[in-house]
Amino acid sequence: MKYQGQTEYDHKGPSPKRGVLLCNLGTPDAPKTPELRRYLKEFLSDPRVVEVPRLLWWMILNLIILRIRPRRSAKLYQTVWSEGGSPLLVHSKAQVAGVKKILDEKFNADVPVVLGMRYGNPSMESAIAELTAQNVRDITVLPLYPQYSGATTGSTFDAVAQTFTKTRWVPELHFIGSYHQTPAYIHALCESIQAHIDEHGMPDKLMFSYHGTPERYLHNGDPYHCLCHQTTRLVREKMGLDEDKIMTTFQSRFGREPWLQPYTDKTLEAMPDQGIKHLAVICPGFSSDCLETIEEIDGEGREIFTEHGGETFHYIPCLNSQPLHLDALAGIVSKYL
């Protein structure tokens, strides 16, 4: 007997597929004030990102922040924007294409790989709809944040789950929480750093700068701070670097409450007086170069260091679509295909 509305899946049509959803933070659609206002409103309205009582934060966000910050942010985005869009979008698309190619060639796994942004476009909902349209019934979700944080990885899970509250038939899901200690990822970081040292020499100090979060997130149980330090340690150990050659700092703080320390900008100010004249900075918490790495570190950070007496400043780019990084990402998702 076949009930009304029942569809036969056993013998008709192509077999269900496995697919991969790569997720990143997101980007405005254009480097203009209206687009930045929409993007920042979505981003800063996420209770995972800003853990402040909702009514109080609504007033601060809508009456103060969204009246001031979009215009400033638009000017910054204009300095890094390209014909293909924001750097984050360009690199994320290249990662999707690269991972797809490796899965096809090395793992003989013909699976769809799509990109979904937590905020902005392509949205998480549209990415999942794209997979569904390709008959994907088993999805591996990889947020492109190496170190888990509730504000990033946790929020991505929320968005995926929210999308499926509107779906009658929920597919099989494999959600990868972090990959900060994956050997292939650590190897890719080490090779990137070594290539820089081979070209520019050993710096007086190698700074690992990660995106910051409020200190209270750590005290409330978020493991992000510990995972960042673990990444730094694993790279240092694999490369055989002395502890006094490296340090971990945190950037991009916002607001008045204490954030994870030491702060990247304050550390850059103090380094020249400590005899550190040659500095290299890498941002292992970012899988793709973006406004926070290009403008904040390679731009503003460089100015801070040199204005306070530093002589040589190098920014080591994110892994982006480097072959070893793509191999690492493809290897991580291949275990679920």
pLDDT at residue 1 is higher than 60: no
Q: Tell me the per-residue pLDDT of 276-334, one tens digit each, with 9 for 90 and over.
A: 999 999 999 999 999 999 999 999 999 999 999 999 999 999 999 999 999 999 999 99
The predicted structure's pLDDT at residue 203: 98
Is the Cα dihedral 52, 253, 34, 71 positive or negative?
A: positive
The model's confidence at residue 110, banded by pLDDT at 50, 70 and 90, is: confident
Separation in Å, CA 267 to CA 75, 204, 209, 252, 296: 26, 14, 10, 13, 14
The pLDDT of residue 243 is 96
Whether the CB-CB separation of 136 and 116 falls below 8 Å is answered with no
pLDDT of residue 15: 81
- For the residues 77-91, what does the mean pLDDT come to? 97
CA angle 76, 290, 217 (to 5 degrees): 100
Residue 85: CB atoms within 10 Å: 17
Nearest to 111 by CA among 139, 89, 133, 90: 139
What's the predicted TM-score (pTM) here? 0.93
pLDDT of residue 36: 97
Q: Which of 1-15, 92-106, 303-317 has the lowest mean pLDDT?
A: 1-15
Q: What CA–CA distance (Å, rounded) separates 260 from 76?
A: 24
Task: Evaluate whether 323 touches 127 at the Cβ level (below 8 Å).
Answer: no
Mean pLDDT of 159-179: 95
Q: What is the pLDDT of residue 12?
A: 60
What is the rounded end-to-end Cα distance, in angstroms, of the chain?
Answer: 34
Average pLDDT value for residue range 16-36? 96
**pLDDT at 7 > cutoff 80:** no
Angle of the 224-239 helix axis to the 183-200 helix axis, nearest 10: 60
Task: Label residue 16 by pLDDT band (50, 70, 90).
Answer: confident
The stretch 39-55 carries a mean pLDDT of 96
Asked if 88 contacts 211 with a C-beta cutoff of 8 angstroms, the reply is no
When pLDDT is averaged across residues 221-241 and rounded to a whole number, the result is 98
C-alpha torsion 251→33→60→41, nearest 10? -80
What does DSSP say about strands 172-175 and 246-251: parallel, antiparallel, or unpaired?
unpaired
Q: Name the token pair of 197.
A: 């040292």
**Residue 92: which residues within 8 A CB-CB, separation 6 or more?**
22, 24, 115, 117, 144, 288
Query: What mean pLDDT comes out for the span 22-40?
Result: 97
Mean per-residue pLDDT, 93-105: 96
- Structural domains of the chain, ranges and CATH numbers in brackets: 183-316 (3.40.50.1400)
Closest among 99, 104, 76, 101 to 24, alpha carbons compared: 99
The one-letter code for the residue type at 288 is S
Task: Tell whether the model's pLDDT for residue 31 goes beyond 90.
Answer: yes
